[in-house]
Amino acid sequence: MARSHTEMLRVALLGIALAGCDGAYGADAAAPPAAAAAAPAADACAEPLCYTASSLEAERNHIILHDLSLVDSTHGRVHISADRAEASGLDLASSQWVLTGNVHVEMDQSAGQHNELHADTATVQFANKHVAMMTASGEPAEFARTIDRSREQARGHARSIRFDVDRNLLQLDGDSWLSDGCREIRAPHIDYDVTRQRVQAAAGGDPSQVRGTIRTDAGAQCAPEAGARP
């Protein structure tokens, strides 16, 4: 069944029985049973992991998606988009996905907290049917955290950003820069505990490589009673 590039496949990720299918499915091949009975769009899907894509190519243990839009609703809401996604393994809900091109990640958490990640490429680790870890690369890769999508709490960039989603921890490597609204830090490596808003910077043996700026116009979030600071 031929499909145009603009036609979107709407499939529940957990409903694709790739491990039990023979042959390959491409833009001009017969769709697998799960794709034929199209599910609602990713944002409206009732499954823990859902996606939409403009095209799908799949073999028994391998899948390639173009113009990916994926939603993980297991812990808050994680939305991932990329030009291309590729994954391998018997269980795609517990596997590693490689994303390339215009990678954009949005994460809605409790108390109106919202995280965003932009990168050229990313590796996303799915574990137990949810996004557990992601490593993003770019020139640079960028991170931002806001409250109620308006009040900025932190932002940063680096050549590589590793985000432990389960523990809410960031690791920035390579020309790293982070601002938490109270101070700005530059270093080869920065660790940021997103929940506790705690920052640690490593110089790699050269103390002069860690540089910081204390903002004189910092807001109320920088007062001591707002929480522990590094």
192 and 212 fall within a common domain: yes
Q: By C-alpha distance, which of 114, 109, 55, 110 is closest to 85?
A: 55
Verify that 55 and 101 share a domain, yes or no: no
**20 and 107 co-located in one domain:** no
pLDDT for the residue numbered 216 = 61
Q: In the listed set 39, 73, 107, which residue is the last one of a domain according to the structure?
A: 73
Q: What is the pLDDT of residue 222?
A: 60
pTM over 0.95? The answer is no
- Same domain for 156 and 209? yes
Nearest to 120 by CA among 145, 98, 105, 139: 139
How many structural domains compose the chain? 2
Q: What is the predicted pLDDT for the residue at 33?
A: 35
Kindly report the number of other CB atoms within 10 A of residue 144's CB atom: 16
Q: Is residue 123 part of a domain?
A: yes
| Interacting residues of 66 by C-beta distance below 8 A, sequence separation 6+ | 53, 54, 55, 56, 83, 84
- The segments of the chain whose pLDDT lies below 50 read 1-41, 225-230
38's CB contacts (< 8 A; 6+ apart) are: 9, 10, 11
195/161 same-domain check: yes
Q: Residue 194: inside a domain, yes or no?
A: yes
Residue closest to 194 by CA, chosen among 131, 126, 113: 113
Check residue 170 and give its pLDDT.
Answer: 94
Range of the domain at 95: 85-217
